[in-house]
Amino acid sequence: MATLQNFDAEIAKTKQVVEDMRSKIEQSGTVLDKIATTDAKIGASDFDIENARIQDVLKQQKVMEGNIADLIIGLEDATNVFGTEFESMKSFTGWETFVGIFSDSSKQRMRTDRVRNMSLAGNLQELLVKSDTIVGILKAQKQVLDERYKTSEASLSQVIERRKVTMSNLEATQKRIEELNPLLLDIENKIAASTSQKERTELESERSKLATEYNEKQAKEQEILAESQTLERYTSMFQTFVDSLNNQIAAQATLINKLTIDTEQRIVLYKALEDSLKTAAQQDVAHKINTLGSKVDNTAEETMAGIGAAAQKHIGDLLELHEKNMVATADIQRRKKLADDAFARRFEDVLKKHNASDYVQS
């Protein structure tokens, strides 16, 4: 992952995972919306299928986030590899060394001319294209997740409200059954104690009505109880689904923020370091620059302090940087630290596997 050659294939693979997830999310969201707005029920087999689909979304979520996190770490690794170009800018080429045998001033002048004419814009452009592609995938997915989360959360609330109503009906039915029990017992006693045929007939008619209502309520109780249990299963299953959407949104935001800050810092550092190396007075600073990715934070502050402030007009403008849009290095370092900390907390496992060189793409 330390080179950019295989990034396109990895990005395409991640994009496919995202699209597969999006399809499953929409299917589950549609089922939830249907249940919330109608009396439709999911059969036992269909319920298992839907539950399996949601569990699959949870698994793919981890795969997708892990892949993208690894791509972001890989961009930093690639940046570190590009740091060798800075090393070459501080040292002499073979030809320059040979010329130096005859004229040290000529050797110095040749290196100065080479450094001044060298541009790192190509590497920066390549890095930013990859970054923009990943950010594009993340933002598109986050938009889908935001929209689906809003509708699914509303639908889940409706399902929860339906269960509340069902529970209320169940309680009312059970209360009526409790009331009918003593009434039936009382009328049975009256029938047994009655000696009047007319009175017994009236009591038996009344008992028949109460017994019919009692049986109906018992049947209703079982029906409502089954409905309540079904809605409880729906609620549990789709609560997992909605929680997953919320977690994905948070992960997307963390990844986008991390990548955006890294890109902003990379632009500033590349331009500032390139400018510094092209200034003869700053040649002594060059040996401090070996890497740019995650290892550059400490040396960047020292380098930038010697270089001064770097500027950028806009990420989309790439190297068209101007003094009027100067970016404060301290502010970028502060924001990057926050983004790195959030990234490390959420993707600790990915970082550990990556650092141990045993991260395997799923």
Q: How far apart are CA 301 and CA 173, in angstroms?
A: 73
54-68, 155-169, 225-239: which range is least confident on average? 54-68
82 alpha-carbon distance from chain centroid: 29
Whether the Cβ atoms of residue 318 and residue 282 lie closer than 8 Å to each other: no
Domain ranges of the chain: 7-355
What percentage of the chain exceeds 70 in pLDDT? 69
Q: How far apart are CA 191 and CA 204, in angstroms?
A: 7
Q: Is residue 319 scored above 60 in pLDDT? A: no
Residue 21's pLDDT is: 84
Q: Is residue 17 scored above 80 in pLDDT? A: yes
Residue 218's pLDDT is: 93
180-217 pLDDT, tens digit each: 999 999 988 888 888 888 888 888 899 999 999 999 99
Phi-psi region of 288 (alpha: psi -120 to 50; beta: other; left: phi over 0): alpha
104-146 pLDDT, tens digit each: 777 777 776 766 666 556 666 777 788 888 888 888 888 989 9
Q: How far apart are CA 1 and CA 10, in angstroms?
A: 9
22: which 2 tokens?
A: 């999006």
Q: Is residue 286 scored above 90 in pLDDT? A: no
Q: Is residue 28 scored above 50 in pLDDT? A: yes
231: which 2 tokens?
A: 């809605």
Whether the Cβ atoms of residue 187 and residue 203 lie closer than 8 Å to each other: yes
283: which 2 tokens?
A: 């040649």
Residue 177's pLDDT is: 93
Is beta strand 326-327 parallel, antiparallel or unpaired with respect to 310-311? antiparallel
339-356 pLDDT, tens digit each: 777 777 776 766 676 666
